[in-house]
């Protein structure tokens, strides 16, 4: 793929996470299995805490809304009649979480519990955010050249900060000037990139967006944002048309910044 010159008007680099800074396998083979394997133990350990009870309350409400769906798992209320009943309620929560994850659902209730579990896992060292080895040295060079660097991911800003704050490269949060998630808008809608530019305080053509997803690249391009599609191990393949149309890189080191002088 060689060297990709960065247009002279670019002042900020906007990064996707999964498949761009971080292997897709980390999410699929580490983060999600951690939830499945540890949700029962987590609930037992934190059940009496207010945060955990809020999470369970949201999951129970979601279960009521899902009651007409095939295979939906209801979560009974506690009546305070002892350990056996508590275990039955916890098991219902576990079964509900497993059912939602099997369907790859993105409910607020599920995402909230997952976020709290991952926060605990990162903090205790059970999980470290994986970063491709070219990422940190490249970002340091970009910043030295005067570039601003931002993250835009479907994962919540909290989840982003956990991944980079407890990464295989240590705490690298200082490398980023800001974080965006889908609260600013979906990544496949061009208006989201206009909002990001307005938030950063620049024009859309002052931004270079790096992503592994052509639909996201297309949306950014529609907003007059510069884009490059990142090819990483484990990423979905591109069509021949996509390969010929988009600028492609397989490493952040392939970006060539114009001289800042």
CATH of the domain at 239: 3.40.50.1000
Asked if residue 202 is part of any domain, the answer here is yes
- End-of-domain residue from the set 70, 98, 124: 124
Q: What is the pLDDT of residue 14?
A: 98
Distances (CA, A) of 45 to 59, 74, 117, 120: 18, 22, 11, 12
Where residue 146 falls (left for φ over 0; alpha for ψ -120 to 50; beta otherwise) is left
Q: Locate tokens 């809020």: which residue? A: 54
**Nearest-angstrom CA–CA distance, 121 and 36:** 13
Q: Which residue range is the domain that position 46 belongs to? A: 28-124
Q: Side-chain half-sphere of 254: how many Cα atoms within 13 Å?
A: 14
162-185 burial, b at 16+ Cβ within 10 Å, e below that, comes to bbbebbebeebbebbeebbbeebb
Distance CA 27, CA 8 (A): 34
Residues 190 and 252 in one domain: yes
Report pTM.
0.86
240 within some domain = yes
Low-confidence ranges of the chain (pLDDT < 50): 260-261
Same domain, 102 and 190: no
112 and 70 belong to one structural domain: yes
Residue ending a domain, choose from 105, 124, 143:
124
- The pLDDT, as a whole number, for residue 9 is 96
Q: Are 73 and 63 in contact (CB under 8 A)?
A: yes
Number of domains forming the structure of the chain = 2
**Which element (helix H / strand E) includes 68?**
none
* Beta strand spans in 53-206 (E): 148-152, 178-180
pLDDT at 258: 78
Residue 65 neighbours by CB distance under 10 Å: 11
């Amino acid at each position: 793929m060689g060297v990709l010159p960065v247009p002279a008007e670019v002042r900020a680099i906007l990064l996707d996470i999964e498949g761009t800074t971080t292997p897709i396998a980390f999410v699929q083979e580490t983060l999600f299995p951690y939830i499945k394997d540890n949700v029962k133990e987590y609930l037992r350990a934190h059940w009496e805490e207010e945060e955990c009870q809020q999470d369970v309350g949201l999951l129970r409400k979601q279960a009521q809304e899902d009651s007409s769906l095939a295979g939906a798992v209801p979560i009974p209320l506690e009546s305070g009649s002892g350990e056996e009943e508590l275990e039955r309620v916890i098991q219902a929560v576990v079964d509900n979480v497993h059912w939602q994850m099997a369907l790859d659902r993105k409910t607020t209730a599920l995402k909230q519990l997952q976020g709290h579990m991952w926060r605990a896992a990162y903090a205790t060292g059970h999980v470290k955010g994986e970063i491709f080895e070219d990422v940190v040295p490249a970002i340091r060079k970009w910043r030295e050249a005067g570039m601003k660097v931002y993250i835009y991911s479907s994962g919540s800003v909290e989840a982003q900060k956990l991944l980079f704050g407890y990464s295989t490269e240590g705490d690298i949060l200082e490398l980023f000037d800001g974080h965006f998630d889908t609260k600013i808008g979906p990544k496949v809608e061009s208006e989201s990139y206009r909002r990001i530019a307005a938030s950063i305080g620049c024009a859309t053509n002052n931004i270079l967006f790096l992503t592994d997803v052509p639909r996201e690249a297309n949306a950014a391009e529609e907003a007059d944002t510069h884009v490059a599609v990142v090819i990483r191990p484990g990423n979905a393949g591109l069509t021949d048309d996509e390969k010929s149309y988009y600028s492609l890189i397989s490493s952040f080191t392939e970006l060539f910044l114009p001289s800042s002088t």
